[in-house]
Amino acid sequence: MSQKFDVIVIGAGPGGYVAAIRAAQLGLKTACIEKYQGKEGKTALGGTCLNVGCIPSKALLDSSYKFHEAHESFNVHGISTGEVKMDVATMIARKDQIVKNLTGGVAALLKANGVTVFEGHGKLLAGKQVEVTGLDGDKQTLAADNVILASGSKPVDIPPAPVDQQVILDSTGALDIQSVPARLGVIGAGVIGLELGSVWARLGSDVTVIEAMDKFLPAADEQIAKEAFKVLTKQGLKIRLGARVTGSKVDGNQVTVNFTDADGEQNLTFDKLIVAVGRRPVTTDLLATDSGVDLDERGFIFVDDYCATSVPGVFAIGDVVRGAMLAHKASEEGVMVAERIAGHKAQMNYDLIPSVIYTHPEIAWVGKSEQALKAEGVELNIGTFPFAASGRAMAANDTTGLVKVIADAKTDRVLGVHVIGPSAAELVQQGAIGMEFGTSAEDLGMMVFSHPTLSEALHEAALAVNGHAIHVANRKKR
């Protein structure tokens, strides 16, 4: 007789493991299935985010920025360091240790909450049965009242640049480059491409980013995107917009990339090439033909606003369903689904999911952009505040960028907060908290912000919405 659970979660990424923990906390007998194996050949929990995504990339970004500061900026503070060198192997080893610590922490949390972990591949069968193929090939079938599909995503491959993980790398292989490439190509000027390009540019690579779209960061507010393009270009990223890759040829330890742009056919040669053109849902062998679960035309699992699939009692969350592929989105969907299974009326506000690009300066936003709101015909009042006028930013020698607050001109309700600058992710999160409770620009302006802080820039931008900014000239008086 197969083992029976209240909830079975397939996938132990930031959506899956959070869903499993919350379900167990709510008194549900819960199992979680994971097949991913880390560098040591052992099952590693945490999904893309902890193993080959959010966490390792941030570790490399932090290490490379510290090198950049020591090399370029310490003298401003009166600090003399002599020759600064980067030991790439040590940087990579530090990244790997952070990953190991965090994935081990997830395993401990699942155990502490009483979640049964199965190592292997999970497949949904008819009748909410789940087949688990162990790492040794043995199969067993589990039964559940509820199943949560959280199988995640993987990098998109493109035929003109087939990944070999030697010279042409995807975002996973790019995390393990063992020496600084003299010439680095990046296909894709999205979050992953800009972050990984920044890491190696700081360490001395000549980086060219090839982007097929004519517009830079189209999802971001145009004012913020223009500032980001200017800043990143100044930092050394050569961003080629409107450039479509048509082919590539590996010759020994280098690769020549062919692409077309406004000037016609072009080619560039690199020592390493990173393909970062997006991610796609992982549904390979996830669903039996009679499982009853439907996929949409793009290969995502079809779900409603509460992540329920076409089969009662079967849910799907995270990268495998519609919406942004973000770890925090997946986690909150996991909590929502677990609570709904337990009988609670949980829901999620998809309009207020923050987006962050961890370059330096950081780029972050929540809510809608100025161009999107104007396209909807909304009358706006907008306030901005530059970090160049922030005392805290000056003290830290980190004054690039600005905060932008967008409010409805009729109601004063804040509809968007957009930031490029130091701690942009943290400032945007403050905006998200206020927006969740329907804050107005006036509300933010009336709050007391500690001084000196970077968050004062959010305060001043909110004041500027209605022409009340103190530490910068107002565009209008009221």
Give bridge partners of residue 251 from the DSSP assignment. 254
Last residue in a domain, options 243, 277, 311: 277
Same domain for 114 and 17? yes
d(CA 306, CA 117): 25
Contact indicator for 414, 406 with CB cutoff of 8 Å = yes
C-beta atoms surrounding 191 within 10 Å: 22
Q: How confident is the model at residue 231 (pLDDT cuts 50, 70, 90)?
A: very high
Q: Is residue 133 part of a domain?
A: yes
Q: At a CB cut-off of 8 Å and minimum separation 6, what does 105 contact?
A: none
Within-domain flag for 477: no
- pLDDT of the residue at 477: 53
Residues 327 and 400 in one domain: no
Distance CA 283, CA 279 (A): 13
Kindly provide the residue ranges of all beta strands, DSSP E only, lying in 165-243, ordered along the sequence.
168-169, 183-187, 206-210, 238-240
pLDDT of residue 446: 97
Same domain, 14 and 148: yes
- Give CA–CA dist 249/256, Å, rounded: 5
Q: What is the pLDDT of residue 242?
A: 98
Q: Is residue 61 part of a domain?
A: yes
Judgement on whether residues 215 and 305 belong to the same structural domain of the protein: no
Active-site option among 451, 459, 468, 471: 451
Residues 122, 79 share a domain: yes
* Contacts of residue 51, Cβ cutoff 8 Å, sequence gap at least 6: 36, 38, 44, 99, 103
Could you report the per-residue pLDDT of 389-427, keeping only the tens digit for each?
Answer: 999 999 999 999 999 999 999 999 999 999 999 999 999
Domain boundary among 277, 306, 332: 277
- Which domain covers residue 246, as residue numbers? 168-277
Q: What contacts 201, CB < 8 A, 6 or more positions away? A: 184, 207, 235, 236, 237
Q: pTM of whole model > 0.85?
A: yes
pLDDT of 476 higher than 70:
no
**Does residue 1 carry a pLDDT above 60?**
no
Let me know the angle formed at the C-alpha of 88 by 95 and 194, rounded to the nearest 5 degrees: 70
Q: In terms of domains, do 78 and 189 share one?
A: no
Residue 478 has pLDDT above 80, yes or no: no
Q: Is the pLDDT of residue 333 over 60?
A: yes
Residues 87 and 114 in one domain: yes
Residue 474 lies in a domain: no
Q: Which residues contact 369 (CB under 8 A, 6 or more apart)?
A: 219, 220, 221, 222, 406, 416, 418
CA pair distance 38, 41, nearest whole angstrom: 5
- Residue pLDDT, tens place only, 249-291: 999 999 999 999 999 999 999 999 999 999 999 999 999 999 9
Whether 451 is a known active-site residue: answer yes
Q: Please say if the pLDDT value at position 346 is more than 80.
A: yes
pLDDT band at 21 (very low <50, low <70, confident <90, very high): very high
| Sheet of 264-270, strand order | 244-251, 254-261, 264-270
Residues 142 and 11 in one domain: yes
Q: Residue 430 falls within a domain, yes or no?
A: yes
Region for residue 405 given its phi and psi (left: phi exceeds 0; alpha: psi -120 to 50; beta: otherwise): beta
pLDDT in tens, 169-208: 999 999 999 999 999 999 999 999 999 999 999 999 999 9
Sign of CA dihedral 358, 152, 301, 142: negative
Q: Is the pLDDT of residue 454 over 90?
A: yes
Of 393, 352, 382, the C-alpha closest to 462 is 382
Q: Is residue 104 one of the residues assigned to a domain?
A: yes
Structure tokens at 40: 């040591």
The domain that contains 257 carries what CATH number? 3.50.50.60
DSSP letter at 257?
E
Tell me whether residue 478 is in a domain. no
Q: Does residue 161 lie in a domain region? A: no
What pLDDT, on a 0 to 100 scale, did the predictor assign at position 2?
A: 76
Last residue within a domain, chosen from 247, 277, 307: 277
Q: How far is CA 424 from CA 130, 439, 455, 457, in A?
A: 42, 19, 9, 10
User: Which CATH number fits the domain that encloses residue 408?
Assistant: 3.30.390.30
Shared-domain flag, residues 333 and 366: no
Kindly state the tokens that stand for 403: 């905060």
Give the integer Cα–Cα distance in Å for 59 and 71. Answer: 18
CA separation for the pair 92, 109 (Å, rounded):
26
Same-domain pairing of 285 and 146: yes
pLDDT at 40 (0 to 100): 87
146 and 192 in a single domain? The answer is no
DSSP class of residue 43 equals B
Residue pair 472/386 in contact (Cβ under 8 Å)? The answer is: yes
What confidence tens digit (pLDDT) does each residue in 122-159 have? 999 999 999 999 999 999 999 999 999 999 999 999 99
Total domains present in the chain: 3
pLDDT of residue 475: 78
Residues 198 and 248 grouped into a single domain: yes
Q: What is the pLDDT of residue 39?
A: 87
